[in-house]
Amino acid sequence: EAGVAQSPRYKIIEKRQSVAFWCNPISGHATLYWYQQILGQGPKLLIQFQNNGVVDDSQLPKDRFSAERLKGVDSTLKIQPAKLEDSAVYLCASSLVGLAGEQFFGPGTRLTVL
């Protein structure tokens, strides 16, 4: 069984530029999560989808972050414009519906904003 796929693995951009991350969850996992993990901290949930609907985006900085999951499978997370404090690892995870505790994480995208 293939795991959660993410790309790119690394990204370096200048502040005020835009960037997009892509995630493909485990087949059959209807719930998809995007997390931000700053060095030395635990993952912080940005947005949770179930199929193509948003379940929770309360911690997503909506003035600069956006995410979509149009067909209920792949998802993209975008930052526009990026700030220095957005430097972090962006993790995508997926789970079966109702099993939020049993999440499978992708390898993450390490973003550096200069």
Site string for other proteins, 89-108 (x = CB under 8 A): --x------x-xxxxxxxxx
Q: Are 56 and 8 in contact (CB under 8 A)?
A: no
Nearer Cβ to other proteins (91/113): 91
Residue 56 binds other proteins, judged by CB under 8 A? yes
Residue 41 binds other proteins, judged by CB under 8 A? yes
Go through 8-28 and write b for each residue having 16 or more CB atoms within 10 A of its CB, e for each that does not: eeebebeeeeebebebbbbee
Nearer Cβ to other proteins (3/80): 3
Complete DSSP assignment for 53-107: EEEE-TTS-TTTEEEE-TTSS-EEEEESS--GGG-EEEEEEEE-TT-TTS-EE--
Nearer Cβ to other proteins (79/108): 108
Count of residues near other proteins by CB under 8 A: 21
Residue 34 binds other proteins, judged by CB under 8 A? no
Give contact residues for other proteins (rule: CB under 8 A).
Answer: 33, 40-45, 48, 55-56, 91, 98, 100-108
